[in-house]
Amino acid sequence: MERRTRLRAAPRECVPLRRPAVAAQVKQEDKVRVVEEFTRDENVAVTVTTGLLRRPDVAFKAMSDDTVRFRRTATQ
């Protein structure tokens, strides 16, 4: 019999990875692929994007991309 686990919503405050040494071995492109997969849901994507843009370094780098700046301006 196949056992399925349910994903739980992340708490407001992120819990640090329990095994950062293992996470460090995962390639960046694989991490990006996983994040893209989890953010297919519109509500999840909005929540994650809002949280990421609250980080000053992330927001600065994101706004350095001309396409991102154009789309942000177009949606305002």
Structural domain contains residue 2: no
Specify if 67 maps to a domain: yes
Q: Cα separation of 26 and 76, whole Å? A: 36
* Residue 51, domain extent: 23-75
Mean per-residue pLDDT over the chain, rounded: 84
Does residue 12 lie within any of the structural domains? no
pTM recorded for the entire structure: 0.63
8 Å CB contact between 23 and 17: yes
Sign of CA dihedral 37, 41, 46, 48: negative
Into how many domains does the chain fold?
1
At 30-58, the pLDDT tens digits run 999 999 999 999 999 999 999 999 999 99
What is the band of 20 on the pLDDT scale with cuts at 50, 70, 90? confident
Residue 6 resides in a domain: no
| Residue 70 counted as domain residue | yes
